[in-house]
């Protein structure tokens, strides 16, 4: 009896142990994702998309994307785009990368309306396409009722660069700016739809060359946060510029890399 | 068979635990006896952890079926609750008022209590290995091991750090240390509380703690301040806390959220210095770090956690989705939208106990529903709360059936009543889980 039970438990364990794999399959069922993939046959399982499997706060879910891939002038990842298939607007955020980043790894915080699968599509400069996905369950935590406090204004740029960067070594850069990222889909306290007000892009330049462009859509969380890498070869000045959609207003911050 | 009521009274614990095979009443592993299956009524249930989830489960197993052989494994002879430990920091309670023991479980309910740490679980052979090498066999296992910390995930906050910068997120010595540090601090100092991202034990806990420390300062150190550095932009009952802080503490409490560079990324516990994501340095006079967390280590060792570090469960019974006959309750589980609270743990412990009683009797477990209320004190006579009732849906998820929050506008008598309800809640919980009477 007990032996039988043990055997049963063993087979159950074997069945249950591997976590549901979200490797990007099923991408062709979603028009926006399929369009981003284009004609190529994508490779699954190489691009990594990390999100918590359960989140108690769908308004700011951490998202990290990375892939083991060269970032040299003739072979690099040139874009990573993210889609949330059940959000009102599938496009979440697009990263346009360059070899100057040194490492194809980016993170941000995004809005996820309901439990669903998110997809990411990466293109390399040599025409390879990579797809990844992540399943996420959204619950509103019982002790976590948020308050609707002050609306963020556009400003207060913050940038953190490596303390002692070395030439050609990818170093982590973090940026944050306050902005409401109002989607134009949400009611205000008076029941009126709050007008859409979004950031369009963050552009990062190093000594005049564009290193990274991030295009933001409605699903980028309030006060957009971006984390990525930069690998400058020589000391110099980095400029970080956020531009608002429609108004074209910008906010800028600079940082100096003194390489050792 | 020997007297099942109280076997520990007649034998020395050591002799008993080492006497493998000698005592039928305890589910000790007998080299050749491990295969013997008993009749339904005498099924062996091991409970790991004597906190909110485990103590409650052990009692309700026995209440549901007194013939079950229930063994509770818990290293501590005295359990200090995190609930109301903030009141100890505020000077409103003493440690002995948040201390509980296992006498009632042992003497009234006939639970066998072993003060050991479970070191390993073999889900296939249905065994638990204790710190002293003893092996227990179970037919059903309940685990409520609470949390462990992710050392060094926050740079510099390693296993040695809490002796300088306490977490006090498991109550006991750490709570005492934090209060001593507050008492030793010169007036005019800054108490810095580092609050983690979700999910973590007791979502309103850091903010109740800030309130209680501010209350202590207002009584004894009027020029001192509380600074909360938070890895989140929103927190539990935020509007109610903020309003209460304004009323009682003015600018004595400052909260810096994620979007204002509140996320701490490096801790120097000895110098009591922290650095935030965008490079701001804060010097504390007393530094309290609530570190990132995960399920208690035994859950991971049993292979029950997923890559989030927490335990996925079937919410109808709180049975692990990874192993048969193991139930996990409390903070260690993924039970959202239920928060990681003592009340939730106790509610889940009862559901798991009822499921086991039913399974052993060959019946279908009753439908599961759960309740939770998180009370927080902002001042001695000013309480707020958030409450929820939950059930399991047909597609196996936990759903909030109703919930409520204290009103944002309320007079002093309403807040005073809620503070009284909080005390009533604590006493009812303590009596239910450990039989402590006030
Ligand atoms: C400051 C603070 C205030 C709080 N206030 C409230 C409140 O007002 N209301 C509320 O509902 N909740 C509150 N909580 C949350 C509450 O403390 C937890 O949610 C609750 O303790 C969870 O119960 P548990 O059974 O999962 O874990 P615990 O209660 O932590 O119990 C776990 C037990 O397991 C034991 N254990 C661990 N590993 C092993 C092992 N390997 N072998 C044997 N034993 C083991 C431990 O020694 C411990 O006794 C608060 C928490 C904090 C930090």
B53 alpha carbon to ligand 1 midpoint, in Å?
8
pLDDT-based confidence at residue A150 (cuts at 50, 70, 90): low
b/e for A81-102, b at 16 or more Cβ within 10 A?
Answer: bbbbbebeebbbbbbbbbbbbb
Contact B236 A143 (CB under 8 A): yes
Q: Does B373 touch chain A (CB under 8 A)?
A: no
Best to test chain A binding among B121, B259, B277 (most A CBs inside 10 Å): B259
Is A78 in contact with A124 (CB distance < 8 Å)?
Answer: yes
B347 alpha carbon to ligand 1 midpoint, in Å?
13
pTM of the complete model: 0.89
Residue-range domains of chain B with CATH: 44-149+293-365 (3.50.50.60), 161-289 (3.50.50.60)
Contact A56 B198 (CB under 8 A): yes
What residues of A are in contact with residue B325 (Cβ under 8 Å)?
5, 9
pLDDT (0 to 100) of residue A141: 57
Of B124, B278, B372, the CB nearest to A142: B372
pLDDT (0 to 100) of residue B272: 98
Does pLDDT of A174 surpass 70? yes
Q: Convert the pLDDT of each residue in A230-246 to its tens digit.
A: 999 999 999 999 999 99
SS (H, E, C) chain B: CCCCCCHHHHCCHHHHHHCCCCCCCCCECCCCHHHCCCCHHHCEEEEECCCHHHHHHHHHHHHHCCCCEEEEECCCCCEECCCCHHHHHCCCCCHHHHEECCHHHHHCCCCEEECCCEEEEECCCCEEEECCCCEEECCEEEECCCEEECCCCCECCCCCHHHCCCCCCCCCHHHHHHHHHHHHCCCCCEEEEEECCCCCCCCCHHHHHHHHHHHHHHHHCCCCEEEEEECCCCCCCHHHHHHHHHHHHHHHEEEECHHHCCCEEEEECCCCEEEECCCCEEECCEEEECCCEEECHHHHHCCCCCCCCCEEEECCCCEECCCCCEEECHHHEECCCCCCCHHHHHHHHHHHHHHHHHHHCCCCCCCCEEEEEEEEEEECCEEEEEEEEEEECCCCCEEEEEEEECCCCCCHHHHHHHHHHHHHHHHHHHHHHHCCCC
- HSE-CB at B219 with a 13 A cutoff on CA atoms is 13
pLDDT (0 to 100) of residue B33: 35
CA distance A17 to chain B (A): 6
pLDDT-based confidence at residue A152 (cuts at 50, 70, 90): confident
B140 lines ligand 1 (CB under 6 A): no
Q: Convert the pLDDT of each residue in B257-274 to its tens digit.
A: 999 999 999 999 999 999
Walk along chain B (438 residues) in steps of 10 and give the mean pLDDT of each run: 38 36 39 39 92 98 97 98 98 97 98 98 98 98 98 98 98 98 98 96 97 98 98 92 96 96 97 97 98 98 95 96 97 94 98 97 94 96 95 86 92 96 97 95
pLDDT (0 to 100) of residue A151: 67
C-alpha–C-alpha distance, residues B231 and A60, integer Å = 12
Q: What's the average model confidence in pLDDT over A122-142?
A: 90
Contact A9 B307 (CB under 8 A): no
A11 alpha carbon to ligand 1 midpoint, in Å?
33
Q: What's the average model confidence in pLDDT over A20-26?
A: 74
The CA-atom distances, in angstroms, between B334 and each of A55, A142, B320, B394 are 10, 13, 10, 18
Question: Which residue's structure tokens are 């080492």?
Answer: B18
The ipTM estimated for the assembled molecules is: 0.85
Of A2, A17, A60, the CB nearest to B233: A60
Contact B337 A141 (CB under 8 A): yes
pLDDT (0 to 100) of residue A14: 38
Tell me which of A134-143, A203-212, B121-130 is least confident: A134-143
């Amino acid at each position: 009896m007990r032996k039988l039970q043990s055997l049963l438990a063993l087979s159950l364990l074997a069945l249950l142990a591997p976590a549901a794999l979200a490797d990007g399959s099923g991408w062709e069922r979603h028009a926006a994702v399929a369009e981003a993939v284009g004609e190529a046959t994508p490779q699954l399982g190489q691009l990594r998309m990390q999100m918590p499997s359960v989140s108690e706060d769908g308004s700011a879910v951490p998202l990290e994307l990375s892939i083991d891939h060269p970032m040299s002038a003739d072979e690099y990842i040139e874009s990573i785009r993210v889609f949330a298939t059940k959000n009102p607007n599938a496009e979440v955020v697009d990263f346009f990368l360059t070899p100057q980043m040194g490492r194809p790894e980016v993170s941000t915080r995004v809005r996820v309306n309901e439990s669903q699968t998110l997809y990411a599509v990466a293109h390399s400069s040599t025409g390879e396409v990579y797809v990844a996905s992540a399943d996420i369950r959204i619950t509103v935590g019982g002790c976590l009722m948020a308050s609707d406090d002050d609306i963020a204004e556009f400003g207060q740029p913050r940038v953190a660069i490596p303390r002692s960067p070395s030439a050609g070594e990818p170093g982590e850069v973090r940026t944050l700016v306050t902005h409401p990222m109002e989607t134009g889909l949400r009611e205000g306290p008076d029941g009126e739809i709050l007008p859409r007000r979004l950031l369009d892009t963050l552009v990062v330049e190093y000594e005049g060359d564009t290193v990274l462009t991030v295009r933001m859509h409605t699903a980028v969380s309030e006060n957009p946060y971006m984390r990525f890498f930069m690998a400058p070869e020589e000391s110099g000045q980095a400029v970080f510029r956020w531009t608002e959609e429609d108004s074209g207003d910008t906010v800028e911050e600079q940082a100096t890399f003194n390489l050792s | 068979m020997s007297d099942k009521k109280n076997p520990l009274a007649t034998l020395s614990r050591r002799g008993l635990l080492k006497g493998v095979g000698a005592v039928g009443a305890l589910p000790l592993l007998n080299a050749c006896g491990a295969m013997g299956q008993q009749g339904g009524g005498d099924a062996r249930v091991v409970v790991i952890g004597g906190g909110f989830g485990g103590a409650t489960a052990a009692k309700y197993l026995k209440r549901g079926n007194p013939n079950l052989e229930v063994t509770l494994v818990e290293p501590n002879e005295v359990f200090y609750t995190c609930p109301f430990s903030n009141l100890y920091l505020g000077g409103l309670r003493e440690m002995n008022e948040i201390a509980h023991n296992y006498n009632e479980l042992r003497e009234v309910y006939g639970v066998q209590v072993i003060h050991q740490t479970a070191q390993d679980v073999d889900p296939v052979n249905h065994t638990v290995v204790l710190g002293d090498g003893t092996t227990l066999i179970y037919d059903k296992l309940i685990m409520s091991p609470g949390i462990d910390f992710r050392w060094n995930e926050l740079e510099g906050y390693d296993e040695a750090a809490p002796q300088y910068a306490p977490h006090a997120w498991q109550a006991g010595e750490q709570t005492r240390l934090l209060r001593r540090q507050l008492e030793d601090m010169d007036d005019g100092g800054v108490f810095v509380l580092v609050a983690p991202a979700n999910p973590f034990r007791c979502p309103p806990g850091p903010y109740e703690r800030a309130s209680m420390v501010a209350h202590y300062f207002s009584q004894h150190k009027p020029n001192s301040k509380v600074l909360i550095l938070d890895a989140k932009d929103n927190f539990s009952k935020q509007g109610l806390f903020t309003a209460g802080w304004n009323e009682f503490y003015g600018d004595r409490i400052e909260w810096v959220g994620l979007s204002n560079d509140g996320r701490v990324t490096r801790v120097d516990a000895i110098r009591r210095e922290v650095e935030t994501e965008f490079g701001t340095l804060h010097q504390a006079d007393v530094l309290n770090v609530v570190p990132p967390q995960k399920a208690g280590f035994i859950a991971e060792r049993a292979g029950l956690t997923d890559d989030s570090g927490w335990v996925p469960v079937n919410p109808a019974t709180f049975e692990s989705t990874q192993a048969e006959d193991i139930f996990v309750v409390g903070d260690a589980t993924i039970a959202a939208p239920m928060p990681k609270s003592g009340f939730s743990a106790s509610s889940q412990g009862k559901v798991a106990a009822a499921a086991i009683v039913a399974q052993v009797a060959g019946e279908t477990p009753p439908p599961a529903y759960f309740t939770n209320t998180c009370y927080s004190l902002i001042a001695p006579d000013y309480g707020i709360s958030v409450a929820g009732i939950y059930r399991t849906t047909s597609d196996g998820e936990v759903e909030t059936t109703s919930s409520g929050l204290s009103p944002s506008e309320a007079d002093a008598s309403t807040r005073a009543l809620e503070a009284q309800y909080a005390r009533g809640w604590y006493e009812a919980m303590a009596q239910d889980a450990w039989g402590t009477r006030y």
